[in-house]
Structure 1
Amino acid sequence: SGIYKYNNKYALDIDYLNKLLAEENYATPKRLILQVELANSLISDGKLTEAKSIINQVLIEYKEILPDDNTHVLYALVTKAMALDKMGEFKQSKTLYEKVIAQRTKIFGAKHPKTLTAMNNLTAVERSLGHLDKARQIFEQIITTKTEVLGADHLSTLISKSNLLTIMVELGELDKADIYSKEILAEFIQSLGSLHSRTLEVYNMRAYLLEDLGKLAAAEKIYRDNLNRYKEAGTTTGPGLFGLQNNLAMLLMKQSKYPESKKIFNALLENVDGILGKEHIYYAIFIGNYGELLMKMQDYSAARILLQQSYDKISATFGEAHQRTVKAKKRLEQLKQLNKKNTKAEFES
């Protein structure tokens, strides 16, 4: 199971765990632990409703045999919070994370990795709720603690710094983020090397920041250089490339470089399909972006199919109120308006 998870083979892991649970007559504690692992893989595979149903039943059974502050119970709560977060139920997710943080602080202390991990997850929910200042405050607290306990150049500390960079960009502090991104990129290169997967992620973040600053040529150069770094590191497919391929394709679309953007989108979708499959939520998100490109290329029939598929999956996963669903619906409305204009122009001609 661990090997499947490490290699992002979540569908295989789900089949394996279901087979174990069906074939073996496990005692209740071990069965519940396996069910929590199954729920985690279902979340990673985009099957959120099924994961939530399983974890709810696990928590009901745990309540009969374990105290609320048991570590297995807290891990199950974290799993449920993750599912709620991805389903767009952010307030409920936040409540669970805050409960876990309070319990883990009591059991392990405020500086323990398990406590810090829960705090890190909470920041993602705060961001989704639009509480960016709160998220920044938590990240700064995490970085201070990790620097004290682990050191400034520890991988975990560096990752938290990269997360803070994301918050700065979202807060619109672009000039500060520009300076900070250079600083932490230098730290990543010094500590991990220029070809480490985490360093490559920071390169990607810096390019995205430069896009927001309107420095499109500089951003494009970093994206392209980063693709070459991945190749140099021996990586031509895999989840580490998802964000990079998508960002470069979107940037090229923004610059009206449609044929090359289409080529990269096709490589991205082949990559995602090979790793996660077409049913994963990432595939739905990326075909929505590709559908926007096809719309700009006036391939309305192909765009309609992809945009509708994207909307159907995203709305079923996140709900109608989620920002991703709103964006997917807006794209369909834009396509409808373009079709009307196109039909009218053909009629008048």
Structure 2
Amino acid sequence: MANLASTCGQLGRYQEAELLGATVLEKRKTFFGADHPDTLCAMANLASTYSQRGRYQEAVLLEATVLEKRKALLGPDHLHTLFAMANLASTYSQLGRYQEAVLLEATVLEKRKALLGADHPHTLLAMANLASTYNQLGRYQEAELLGATVMEKRKTFFGADHPDTLHAMANLASTYSQLGKYQEAVLLEAIVLEKQKTVLGADHPDTLHTMANLAVTYSQLGRYEKAKPLEATVLEKRKTLLGANHPDTLAALENLVTTYHKLGKHQEAKEL
């Protein structure tokens, strides 16, 4: 049942994943007890599903519980504890609690470097997460340095077309945009979008995220006619995949409304 929940989550079938995940958690609590490693794994998985559905407050409560219990059971340096810490940091970021996130992410990065080495995929993921939070805090130069490092190391380790490499490329493009380097950003984002369509599929959340970012960069360059069809596509696909009230869907709606106004299409904007 846990494996099926995980597969549903990977396919974007988050409602089914949540129902299965909640069932697994309750049954493991009954069978193993609340502090058993398998119960904590189920709790972490359900929290991840909550995050995928935009239910970050529920996710953060579960993740904080998992982290504290793993610290007590496994110790602060255990890899499973560090996974819990990274997950909690990610949810803090989703809630805009970036100062709390950055402290956890810096800790995860240093501990993974010591335990796994600087080039290990999990270390690079920690580096990427920290770079993303630096972006949110306006620390763009630090974000650019970390992001470029992650991209190059992932190219070497995984290859240029691997989803993790493409994710790093997309993140670096976002940092370029924050630094006003829109031409560099648009080149990277266009490459990432085409590769993600091929590797992940046109409806994958990461593909849609890149499409949304490319549209925003086009808007920054004043290329609103290029931005509009991308934003319309993102909006419709997110409505189908996530629902009309998901934060990512609402962000897509806001972007499209803004672009319509920039193009002088005020009536179309009102109709949205």
State the TM-score, normalizing by the size of structure 1: 0.62
| Alignment match, 1:282 | 248
- Shift of residue 69, structure 1, vs aligned partner: 1.0
Q: How big is each residue's C-alpha offset from its partner over 1:70-109, in whole Å with a ceiling of 9 and x where there is no partner?
A: 1111111111111100000001001111111111111110
In the alignment, structure 1 residue 19 sits paired with structure 2 residue 23: yes
In the alignment, structure 1 residue 62 sits paired with structure 2 residue 66: no
| Alignment match, 2:154 | 146
Aligned pair partner of 1:32 in 24, 29, 40: 40
Contact 1:93 1:125 in 2 (8 A): yes
What is the identity, as a one-letter code, of the residue corresponding to 1:17? G
Contact 1:181 1:206 in 2 (8 A): no
Larger radius of gyration: 1
| Alignment match, 2:100 | 92
Structure 1 residues 87, 74: closer, same or farther in 2, change over 3 A? same
SS of 1:110's equivalent in the other structure is: coil
- Shift of residue 34, structure 1, vs aligned partner: 0.6
- Cα distance in 2 for partners of 1:49, 1:166 equals 26
| Alignment match, 2:7 | 3
Contact 2:159 2:165 in 1 (8 A): yes
Structure 1 residues 111, 6: closer, same or farther in 2, change over 3 A? same
Structure 1 residues 2, 60: closer, same or farther in 2, change over 3 A? same
| Alignment match, 2:165 | 157
Contact 1:146 1:156 in 2 (8 A): yes
- Cα distance in 1 for partners of 2:244, 2:218 equals 31
Within 5 Å, which residues of 2 pair with 1:1-349?
1-24=5-28, 25-27=30-32, 28-152=36-160, 154-177=162-185, 180-181=187-188, 185=191, 195-197=198-200, 208-217=216-225, 219=226, 244=230, 247=231, 249=232, 268-269=235-236, 271-288=237-254, 296-297=266-267
- Cα distance in 2 for partners of 1:203, 1:78 equals 26
Contact 1:42 1:51 in 2 (8 A): yes
Structure 1 residues 204, 134: closer, same or farther in 2, change over 3 A? same
Aligned-pair Cα RMSD in Å = 3.4
What is the identity, as a one-letter code, of the residue corresponding to 1:144? E
- Cα distance in 2 for partners of 1:63, 1:34 equals 17
Contact 2:212 2:252 in 1 (8 A): no
Contact 1:272 1:283 in 2 (8 A): yes
- Cα distance in 2 for partners of 1:207, 1:158 equals 17
Contact 2:44 2:63 in 1 (8 A): yes
Gaps of 5+ in 2: none
Structure 1 residues 297, 209: closer, same or farther in 2, change over 3 A? same
- Shift of residue 289, structure 1, vs aligned partner: 5.1
Contact 2:86 2:108 in 1 (8 A): yes
Q: How big is each residue's C-alpha offset from its partner over 1:124-177, in whole Å with a ceiling of 9 and x where there is no partner?
A: 111111111111010111123234434455553344223222221221123444
Q: How big is each residue's C-alpha offset from its partner over 1:234-289, in whole Å with a ceiling of 9 and x where there is no partner?
A: xxxxxxxxxx3xx2x4xxxxxxxxxxxxxx79xx35x4343223442223334545
- Cα distance in 1 for partners of 2:151, 2:247 equals 31
- Cα distance in 2 for partners of 1:298, 1:141 equals 43
- Shift of residue 216, structure 1, vs aligned partner: 3.8
Task: Give the share of equivalent positions with the same residue, in percent.
Answer: 22
SS of 1:130's equivalent in the other structure is: coil
Structure 1 residues 205, 18: closer, same or farther in 2, change over 3 A? closer
Contact 2:113 2:123 in 1 (8 A): yes
State the TM-score, normalizing by the size of structure 2: 0.78
State the structure with bigger RCO (CA 8 A, min sep 6), 1 or 2.
1
Contact 1:4 1:13 in 2 (8 A): yes
- Cα distance in 2 for partners of 1:39, 1:203 equals 26
The count of corresponding residues between Structure 1 and Structure 2 is 255
Gaps of 5+ in 1: 225-243, 250-263, 304-349
Contact 1:42 1:50 in 2 (8 A): yes
